[in-house]
Amino acid sequence: MKIYVTNIFVDNQDKAEKFYTDVLGFAVKNNISLGESRWLTVVSPEEPGGTELLLEPSDHPAVKPYKDALVADGIPAHSFQVQDLDAERKRLGDLGVEFSVEPVDAGPVRMAVFDDTCGNLVQLIQMMETNQSPT
């Protein structure tokens, strides 16, 4: 068994598509109209057949309090792995991405947290030991 798709709730799919592709560098995998919203998934260009991230509308009434609580407590909605956290922090900062947590050592990883402009905090991690991936 493997993870096929996971989701992140976004306030605006158009804005999320632009941020997740133009800024973060993901590629659109599916963009299917479902009336007022879309089945909009992105993937890492490094793994185009890998896990898809669904940019899901935040329409359900439970979503706003959930997202607000996570952000208020500084809890990231997702975590993405990068090879060089400091380089990625600089690249994203140069693009105007706001970080709430600057790169810091956290046990077996270095991590940072940024605002995705769509109502979420997202964590970036770099594994400190080579050839190791998160479990």
Return per-residue pLDDT of the chain as tens, 135 residues.
999 999 999 999 999 999 999 999 999 999 999 999 999 999 999 999 999 999 999 999 999 999 999 999 999 999 999 999 999 999 999 999 999 999 999 999 999 999 999 999 999 999 997 554 555
CATH number, domain containing residue 80: 3.10.180.10
Domain boundary (35, 59, 83) is at 59
Question: Are 134 and 97 found together in one domain?
Answer: yes
Question: Are 75 and 114 found together in one domain?
Answer: yes
Tell me the whole-structure pTM to 2 decimals.
0.91
Among left, alpha and beta (phi > 0; psi -120 to 50; other), residue 74 is left
